[in-house]
Each structure stands twice: as structure tokens, then as C-alpha cells.
A and B are shown apart, each in its own frame.
Chain A
């Protein structure tokens, strides 16, 4: 999907001004996309995750870095949200790798309050997401959570449609296999899908 040139022209002009060093324009860009960036970070990491703020900050800096490559094929908000989703997935994967830190987090959360079954289920989905290759996880989040079509994901990520489709297929297959093979996952979230 290609966004209309007329509709994205103001975004493109703003992005170019920002990329050329105009701080007022840069501020306008970041104020425009900031709420979406923060929402995406919270969505992927979970609202209470300690890295939400850092991921949002990193995403904003990533957007600054990527502004020169913005061509107006989508709105700035969608462009920024995709950057934020990718950063948040990276954050999720980093957190998952940091076992000691995760253990501390689990302990602090357990001490604060016993997670409900629903919270455990949501946490497990995030763990599963963190185990996927980043590109697959990104495609799946853009599809399942952000509501983009395959064509839109392809345009946002500058990736062929067939590649997007393949990433989604592989991601889902990996999730199903992982859930089926691990009793801990199957016990908590196996009921979501009798094939899972």
C-alpha cells in the first residue's frame, strides 16, 4: 500500500526540515509521534515494564536517525510506530536474555502482588514473542496488534509481500510448536488455541 502523496506531503516536508537540522521541526515531529511511540513501547513490553521509558527514548532517537530515510510512503506516525515496535521487541529480547535481571523482576512483581492467570498468560505471550527472530516478531506485532494488512506491513518495512507473508507463517508455526512442546506454556495459554 502506498500512502497518497498529497496526504503525506506535510509529513515529508516536516521530516525533511527536521532532518536538515531545524530543531523546531524536529520537536514538532517528536511531539507528533511521541504518544504513539510510548503506546507501542507499553504495548509490546507491558505497561509496568521498567524499560518502557528507556525504549521510548531509544525509539525517539532512532526516529531522529531514520528521518533522512523517510520518503513519505506512510504517515510519520506509522513510520515512527514501526520504529518503536522494533525497538520494543529488541528491548523484550534483551530483557529475556538478561536472566538475572528477569529473575529479579519476577521476584519484585511476585512480592508486589500475585499475578492473575490473565497476567501470567499475557506475560507468557511476551516471552514467546521475545524468542522469535526480531523480523518475525515485528511482522506479527504489526499485523496482530497494530492491525496492519500484509500490504501495509510490506510498505512500512520496505519488504516484499511474500517475505512478510513468510515471516508471519514462520512466526505462527514457531509459536504453535513452542506452546505445544512446553508444558508450562501449554498449561497457561494452551487453551487459547486447540492447535497450539
Chain B
């Protein structure tokens, strides 16, 4: 949600993914990929007995589909797909597959996509979202603003008001800016799918700004429209704390 929910925060702490590959990952991945790519029929020898025993019919079905996919398909044309770029780890791994790479343009039999000089609204939106997820907040804010300037009436720009509002709210850097983004979303996307989140965002932003009466009204507005909101408990608590 917009401001980190305690349940979400606790779960994120418990399940936080490791940022760096573990020693031996390159070899493990090579083995896993080999199994998935090269599995001849039957697949069982390629997979640990325990896995198949535990996987049951589901695993067998997956294996069957893999076998069908690889052996019933016509002989593949010699599509020249370049190998995924790799980065060399400092030590001791000789080769670590990069987690996210820019794929080279596909080969002769797979026509390269047309390149456009200027990013589209969708492209800017995706780039901003990716920057936000990667924690590159400044880049994300810049991309959201660029999207809103370049394509003000696009659906992506409307959605970006929510994304940008959440970003500004989450890092508590600009609650006034966040409030403005939520208001813009509500003004332009009234009745849209994220109205509930926008109302929550307004209330949280007003809380960060210390505008108690406006915050109280915002929570009441949320409860009025969405009495079963995920934030209903918090809304009721805040309304009570702010004088009912």
C-alpha cells in the first residue's frame, strides 16, 4: 500500500531477497538451466528423485510438456540468439549470469523490433516504474515528470500521478507534492480503479503535512466510500484520534 503497512514491512524484512549471488550460484544455475533445456525423455533422471516424488503429477505434467515442446516441435531454424551477456564475479566464480540484461537484438530469423527515437508514454512509464522498484527515486521522479509533460492526456500519465504520489509519500520527502499528485489523479481519473488508493494517499499526505482537520475529513471520506478498505481500521483509528 501507499505507506508501508506493518504486515507488508514485516514480511518484506523476513523474506528480503539476497542482493548478491551466493557462492556456487553460477554452477547451480548452469546445472538447472541445462536440465530444463536438455532434458531428454524420460525427464526423471534429470531431477532429483525426491523432487519428482514430492512433485507428483504436477511435476510429471511439467516434464511431459517440456518433452513435447522440445521433441515434437519442428527442427528449430538456426535462429541466432546471442548468448546472454555475463559479468565476471570478483572471486571465486568464473562466470556469473547477470540478473537483468539488455538482450541484443534478435537475429536474422527473428526480426528486430522497430526502434523509436523518442520514448513513448508507455516506455517512459515503464522506465519510471522500473527506477522506482530499483530504488532510484530521483530517476523515477524525473521520468514520471517527463511522462506527464510529454503526454499529459495519456492513460500512463494519469496512472503516473498515483505512482509518483506514492513515491513522494513513501520517502516522506515531499508530502505536499504527493498530495498534489493524488488530487490530480482524482481530478483526472475519477471513478477509476485506483480511486480508493488515491483517497488513502490524500489522507496519509495530509497527515504528514500536519493538517489534522483535513486529514480527519480525508479519512472520513475514505470510510464513507470504502467502508471495507484495507485502511479502514487505520482510518477509524485516525478519525478517533483526530477528534471523531
Chain A residues with a Cβ under 8 A of chain B: 1-7, 9-11, 13-14, 16-17, 19-28, 30-32, 34-36, 38-40, 42-44, 47, 53-54, 56-58, 60-65, 77, 94, 121-122, 125-126, 129, 140-141, 143-145, 147-152, 161-162, 165, 168-169, 172, 175-176, 189, 192-193, 195-196
Mask for B145-171, Cβ within 8 A of A = 1, else 0?
000000000000001001100100000
When C-beta atoms are compared, the residue in chain B nearest to A173 turns out to be B230
**Would you call B159 and A1 a contact (CB within 8 A)?**
yes
Instruction: Give the residues from 108 to 148 in chain B that come closer than 8 angstroms, CB to CB, to chain A.
Output: 109-116, 120, 122-123, 125-126, 129, 133
A16 to B125, CA, bound (A): 25
A175 to B80, CA, bound (A): 49
Contact residue among B8, B76, B98, B100 (Cβ-Cβ distance under 8 Å from A140)? B8
**Would you call A13 and B7 a contact (CB within 8 A)?**
no
Q: Does B3 contact A (CB under 8 A)?
A: no
**Would you call A189 and B70 a contact (CB within 8 A)?**
no
A14 to B29, CA, bound (A): 19
Neighbouring A residues of B41 by C-beta, 8 Å: none
When C-beta atoms are compared, the residue in chain B nearest to A90 turns out to be B58
Q: Given A42-B17, A162-B193, A34–B33 Cβ distance below 8 Å? A: yes
A175 to B66, CA, bound (A): 37
**Would you call B126 and A3 a contact (CB within 8 A)?**
yes
> Whole-angstrom distance from the CB of B192 to the nearest CB of chain A?
9
Q: Given A28-B81, A161-B193, A129–B11 Cβ distance below 8 Å? A: yes
A32 to B126, CA, bound (A): 19
A140 to B79, CA, bound (A): 39
Interface centre among A34, A56, A189, by most chain B C-beta atoms within 10 angstroms, is A34
Neighbouring B residues of A44 by C-beta, 8 Å: 15
